[in-house]
């Protein structure tokens, strides 16, 4: 399974609906992720640029994209941003691959 973070911000209309009928959204989020073959790790709301974050595991990037497209298409969100999470133990291998490619990328204008 691959771990992803999905940052979201609701539309003002969605906030108005939630204020008029408060509920815990975790069950709806869990069901959405499970239909893509994944599991919900956590759902948090926050202050700042985003209204919340969902941490979840899915089998592949296609499943994560399907989750993001499904929630985006609902019209309830002002923004949705999905990011694959890299465990710290995996970073050395990623850095080794990056080092192997050094010199192959040429900056624009060079």
Task: Output DSSP code: residue 110.
Answer: -
The domain ranges of the chain are 2-100
Position of tokens 């298409």? Answer: 73
Give mean pLDDT, residues 47-59: 97
For 58, residues 6+ apart whose C-beta sits below 8 A from its C-beta are 1, 2, 4, 33, 36, 37, 38, 64, 67
* Mean pLDDT in residue range 55-79: 97
pLDDT digits (tens, 9 = 90+) for 18-44: 999 999 999 999 999 999 999 999 999
Listed in sequence order, the residues at least 6 apart from 76 whose beta carbon sits closer than 8 Å to its beta carbon are 10, 11, 13, 14
CATH number given to 2-100:
3.30.70.1060
């Amino acid at each position: 399974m691959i771990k992803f973070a999905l940052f979201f911000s609701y539309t003002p209309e969605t906030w108005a609906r939630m204020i008029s009928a408060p509920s815990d959204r975790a069950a709806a989020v869990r069901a959405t992720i499970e239909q893509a073959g994944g599991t919900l790790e956590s759902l948090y709301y926050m202050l700042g640029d985003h209204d919340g974050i969902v941490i979840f595991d899915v089998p592949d990037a296609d499943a994560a994209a399907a989750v993001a497209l499904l929630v985006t298409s609902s019209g309830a969100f002002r923004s949705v941003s999905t990011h694959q999470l890299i465990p710290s133990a995996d970073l050395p291998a990623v850095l080794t691959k990056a080092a192997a490619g050094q010199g192959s990328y040429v900056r624009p204008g060079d």
